[in-house]
Chain A
Amino acid sequence: MLVLSRKTNEKIKIGEDIEITIVSVSGEVVRVGIEAPKEVKILRSEVYEEISRQNKAAAETIDLKQGLGAIEALRAKMIKE
């Protein structure tokens, strides 16, 4: 991993189109500004992890036989509503 030291308002350029700005530093929190083309998806890494965990948890609930009963109950409730 390349590690660079930067001060507030200093920037880092990645390739032609992406520019990172250190907006502010306060204690443990660093605010980072990112300029990138619209087709580049920017995400906090832990958010992807959270969705990944949640997807696995969702799949597990219907993996179990008892889960099928729960789906039946859910179906009945949704039809009623």
Chain B
Amino acid sequence: MTASLQVIRAELHAAIRNVAPGRAAVDELCLACVALLDVDGAAVSTVHQGAPQWTFGCSDESSRRLDEHQFTFGEGPCIDAVATRRPVLVPDLRAAQGGRWPVFAEAALADGVHGVFALPIAVASRPVGALDLFRVDPGPLQRDALAGAVVAADLAARSLLHLLTSGALNRDHDRDQDQDQDIHSTSAVADDPALGEPDASGAPGRVGRRRTGDAMDVNRVEVYQATGILIYQLDVAPGEAVLRLRAHAMATGRSVSEVAFDIIDRRLSLRRDGREGRTDEGRGTE
């Protein structure tokens, strides 16, 4: 049983309240994830030259090892999460074994890990790392746990940002900045079939929204508007509304922008209990 999002959020913030941004804060955050999100291990990796390269903080040594396996073998949910700028949620690695990440899956299963949930960590829409959550029992992350993981990834971003600005990764940071325009306009779209797919509906109001470059980008007009709609519908504060929006996008594997347009066009409504509802059964959202 997962705690409510309010409790999770409060506890995550509390976990790092008295810790300076950096390695120790990320370790504390990972431990808090294990305590709160119904997972058994957590690790945060940092991005170097566009891909996760090393484990920054972790809840325990076996999580660190599993996280590092992915860099060693160049495959795994965390690598994919950073490359696509989308969360990669794998409730059961046995189903994915031999498919997407044969070597990583074998190593994880040997450790008794079945569920892996990787969330990209971004600063100003630029990927700077990933949060990996590992679970022994197979099964999806519950909604509040997923929303909590988004909070944890945001909190981890602060420590990674601190790392970036403290100079350790500055060279890399600057180069990535120069390439940002290219990343936004080409690679993220080209690498992701869901983003590059032409918009079949051609309906007004949907113009270009698949070309956002970053599937989790919340700095968009439609996202602001949809956030307002959720503030009203769910009777929550703005921060909470954004989080619900992002969590829904993650859970359904869509971009935040797509979900936002569905909310604005009244094709989708998120209910107060957290489960989604549809306002129009005729126009599916998945």
- Bound together: no
Q: Which residues of B contact A (CB under 8 A)?
A: none
